[in-house]
Amino acid sequence: MVRDPPRTRRDVSGFNPEKPPFIVTASLPDDLFAWADRLRTEHFPPERNHLRAHVTLFHSFAPSLFEELQTVLPRVAAQEAPPEAELTGLMDLGKGTALAIGSPGMRAIRERIAERFHGALTAQDRHEPRLHITIQNKVEPKEAKALQRELDGTFELRRFRFPGLELHIYRGGPWEFVKGWRFRG
């Protein structure tokens, strides 16, 4: 039996700006994006908040896969209807807080992409994802718990559809948007 190597944290200190990796995300509907991004702005440590609200599907594709990603992602988007999803609650990240998302449809789309790139995925991207939107990270656990208690009373389950897929370049902190593809329909 072949096993995945032990999970390790990605070494961002070895980031090579000459060959930055690519990140694939699921785009959010405008209203949900605005709300989640506002929460992120309010609760994420400002010195570490280089990104807008997002749902990461794949954390790191090698630069050599850029052309293939630009072929595969639009093809997948063109073949799929916008997958249904639901904000299911708050997710405790230990040193942060996220909005948990349930979406069998998006998980199936992600699995389809993962199968296409089998053998080229990082250890982190080979594992089953927990879909979420991070609104706070890299804080003390008690600060994260306090935010979870604060939001718990105001959080409402929300149904939505993911509108598309997006490709970004990792720039050692900030991401650079490359392109997005809307799901058919």
Whole-model pTM: value is: 0.88
In a domain, 48, yes or no: yes
List the 175-182 sheet strands across, edge first.
55-61, 22-26, 164-170, 175-182
In a domain, 8, yes or no: no
- pLDDT per residue as tens digits for the range 139-185: 999 999 999 999 998 888 899 999 999 999 998 888 999 999 999 96
In a domain, 7, yes or no: no
Q: How confident is the model at residue 78 (pLDDT cuts 50, 70, 90)?
A: very high
Residue 17 is predicted with a pLDDT of: 65
Residue span of the structural domain in which 71 resides = 21-182
Residue 19 is predicted with a pLDDT of: 86
Q: Domains in the chain: how many in total?
A: 1
Strand partners, 101: 87
Kindly write down the DSSP assignment for every residue of 9-34, as one continuous string: ---GGG--TTS--EEEEE---HHHHH
Backbone angles phi, psi at 144, to 5 degrees: -65, -45
The mean predicted confidence, pLDDT, of the chain is 90
Q: Can you tell me the mean pLDDT for 107-119? A: 97
CATH of the domain at 46: 3.90.1140.10
Is the pLDDT at 5 greater than 50? The verdict is no
